[in-house]
Amino acid sequence: RHVEALNKLSFVDFVGKLGNIVERCPVVAAAVWSERPFSSAQGVHEAACKFIDGLPTNGREGLLRCHPDLAGALAREGRLSSESTGEQRTAGLLDLTTEEQADISRLNARYKDKFGFPFVLCVRLNKRGAVLKGLKTRINNSKEDEIHTGIEEVKKICWLRLVDILQREQVDTI
Ligand code: GUN
């Protein structure tokens, strides 16, 4: 069982493997390590969610701020993390027309201007049409609601990344 392999990892190796389950926030994996042993992937995810929910508001906003813009400058320059690249590619965000890209950029900028953090959406569960629609509707929410919604999306992204790592682990060990 691959979760057992995770339980055996040193702190450094654990953070090396799981450091990006939340985009550019290795502190989540670092915090979760203390909760070993885990009996399942769900257990790891619950520990990550518990840590995130226990953060003060500025900590949760900080997690959101660590996310690059969807279809943004880093994506265009090929400087996204490998996880974010894969996710944005699946959603079709890496081959938008110039017009679509301009629409998303404009809305991303308005969103960030209003809330002070970027629009975060689990793009593996949302195709590009849903990204535009999500931006257009969520921009009307309150900041408090958007911190909550953004963080719930972070948890979904985290779960899918975790499953990927554990599946890879299984392949590595047979
Ligand atoms: N959803 C999935 N990955 C990302 C990301 O890297 N940035 C943002 N803003 N949303 C995401």
Q: Atom of ligand 1 at shortest distance to CA of 67?
A: 7
- Residue 23 Cβ contacting ligand 1 at under 6 Å: yes
pLDDT tens-digit readout, 74-131: 999 999 999 999 999 999 999 999 999 999 999 999 999 999 999 999 999 988 789 9
* pLDDT value for 173: 53
Distance 102 CA to ligand 1 centre (A): 18
* pLDDT value for 174: 41
| The CATH number fitting domain 69-154, selected from 1.20.58.110, 1.25.40.10, 1.10.150.120, 1.10.3330.10 | 1.10.3330.10
**Average pLDDT value for residue range 126-139:** 92
User: In whole angstroms, what separates CA 72 from the centre of its chain?
Assistant: 15
- Residue 134 Cβ contacting ligand 1 at under 6 Å: no
- Residue 75 Cβ contacting ligand 1 at under 6 Å: no
Alpha-carbon span 171 to 97, nearest angstrom: 37
- Residue 120 Cβ contacting ligand 1 at under 6 Å: yes
Distance 164 CA to ligand 1 centre (A): 16
- Whether the ω angle into residue 37 lies within 30 degrees of 0, i.e. cis, is yes
Alpha-carbon span 121 to 70, nearest angstrom: 9
* pLDDT value for 1: 72
CATH 1.10.3330.10 placement within the chain = 2-62+160-173, 69-154
Lowest mean pLDDT among 3-7, 58-62, 116-120, 149-153: 3-7
Cβ burial of 111 (10 Å; 0-12, 13-18, 19+) is buried
| Residue 53 CA: distances (Å) to CA of 27, 89, 117, 126, 151 | 14, 29, 18, 24, 9
Q: What ipTM does this complex have?
A: 0.88
Q: How confident is the model at residue 172 (pLDDT cuts 50, 70, 90)?
A: low
Please indicate whether residue 45 is annotated as part of the active site.
no
Exactly one of 2, 45, 67, 148 is catalytic; which is it? 67
Q: Atom of ligand 1 at shortest distance to CA of 81?
A: 6
pLDDT tens-digit readout, 19-70: 999 999 999 999 999 999 999 999 999 999 999 999 999 999 999 999 999 9
- Residue 61 Cβ contacting ligand 1 at under 6 Å: no
| Fold topology of 2-62+160-173 | UraD-like (1.10.3330)
**Model confidence, pTM:** 0.94
Distance 80 CA to ligand 1 centre (A): 10
* pLDDT value for 171: 52
Distance 174 CA to ligand 1 centre (A): 32
